């Protein structure tokens, strides 16, 4: 039975071309007796997450429209060891193989494929541990330099963000309830913003006179 394959070509920058990859993979598919259902081209760096064309190929795999995906080398497909093993596991669940032109084939239905997948899973976990260790080390170093993380006491991130808009709407004659509805805030938050502004001495006389008449 002839296997249906999708060809995936990727380059990192716009000044590069997928022409060589396409030519080599079409020749490889012909020699191997594969039926090519299409060729997908991507221009994206190795670490870019939003790969539109790769998603299309994955969708074909999920719908069982193809039996395998052809790439010139595994680095053209995976962003990292973790990404490669995760997509391999997805492809395995759909019974789709990932084949590199070099002859390396990740077919998890074979003992060799499962061994390679197991080794890669171990490498992926090692990579995760390294990332976590770097993050913890970076945070510790930043704290040692006096940098503070997270919300600090007295900070009102959401209220401070909406304060100019709230005060503007107060000036325009909106009630606290209407402001809360339009900005998706609680009426208490709106009231607190106006109260703090009034106490700061920055509130204009016109704002004070109008706010006195609002229905709270």
* CA 96/CA 52 separation, integer angstroms: 19
For the entire predicted model, the pTM comes to: 0.55
Asked if 5 contacts 60 with a C-beta cutoff of 8 angstroms, the reply is no
Q: pLDDT digits over 127-178, tens only?
A: 667 777 877 787 777 777 777 655 555 555 566 778 888 888 888 888 888 8
Ramachandran area for residue 95 (φ above 0: left; ψ -120 to 50: alpha; else beta)? left
**Correct CATH for 157-211 of 1.20.120, 1.10.10, 3.20.20, 3.40.50:** 1.10.10
Tell whether the model's pLDDT for residue 12 goes beyond 90: no
Spatial neighbors of 38 by CB under 8 A, at least 6 apart, are 6, 7
- What pLDDT, on the 0 to 100 scale, is given for residue 115? 75
Asked if 156 contacts 126 with a C-beta cutoff of 8 angstroms, the reply is no
Q: What average pLDDT score do residues 82-105 get? A: 82
- What pLDDT, on the 0 to 100 scale, is given for residue 127? 64
Q: Considering the chain, what is the average pLDDT of its residues?
A: 80
Asked if 69 contacts 78 with a C-beta cutoff of 8 angstroms, the reply is no
In the chain, list all ranges with CATH 1.10.10.
Answer: 157-211
Q: What average pLDDT score do residues 47-73 get? A: 89
* CA 183/CA 174 separation, integer angstroms: 12
- Name the active-site residue from 12, 65, 80, 175: 12
Q: pLDDT digits over 36-46, tens only?
A: 999 999 988 75
- Above pLDDT 70, what percent of the chain? 77
The three-class DSSP label of residue 207 is: helix
CATH number for the segment(s) 4-122: 3.40.50.1390
pLDDT band at 208 (very low <50, low <70, confident <90, very high): very low
For the question of residue 12 being annotated catalytic, the response is: yes
In the chain, list all ranges with CATH 3.40.50.1390.
Answer: 4-122
- What pLDDT, on the 0 to 100 scale, is given for residue 205? 46
* CA 111/CA 165 separation, integer angstroms: 63
């Amino acid at each position: 039975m002839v296997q249906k394959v999708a060809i995936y070509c990727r380059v990192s920058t716009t000044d590069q071309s997928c022409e060589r990859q396409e030519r080599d993979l079409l020749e490889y598919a012909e020699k191997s007796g594969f039926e090519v259902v299409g060729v997908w081209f991507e221009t994206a760096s190795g670490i870019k997450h939003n790969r539109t064309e790769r998603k299309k190929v994955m969708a074909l795999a999920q719908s069982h429209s193809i039996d395998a995906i052809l790439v010139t080398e595994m680095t053209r497909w995976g962003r990292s060891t973790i990404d490669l093993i995760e997509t391999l596991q997805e492809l395995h669940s759909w019974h789709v193989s990932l084949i590199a032109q070099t002859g390396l084939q990740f077919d998890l239905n074979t003992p060799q494929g499962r061994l390679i997948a197991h080794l890669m899973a171990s490498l992926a976990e090692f990579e995760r541990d390294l990332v976590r260790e770097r993050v913890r080390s970076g945070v510790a170093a930043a704290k040692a330099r006096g940098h503070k993380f997270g919300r600090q006491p007295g900070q009102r991130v959401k209220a401070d963000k909406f304060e100019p808009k709230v005060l503007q709407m107060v000036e325009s004659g909106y009630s606290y309830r209407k402001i809360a509805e339009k900005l998706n805030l609680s009426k208490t938050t709106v009231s607190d913003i106006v109260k703090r502004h009034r106490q700061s001495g920055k509130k204009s006389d016109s704002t004070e006179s109008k706010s006195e008449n609002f229905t709270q």
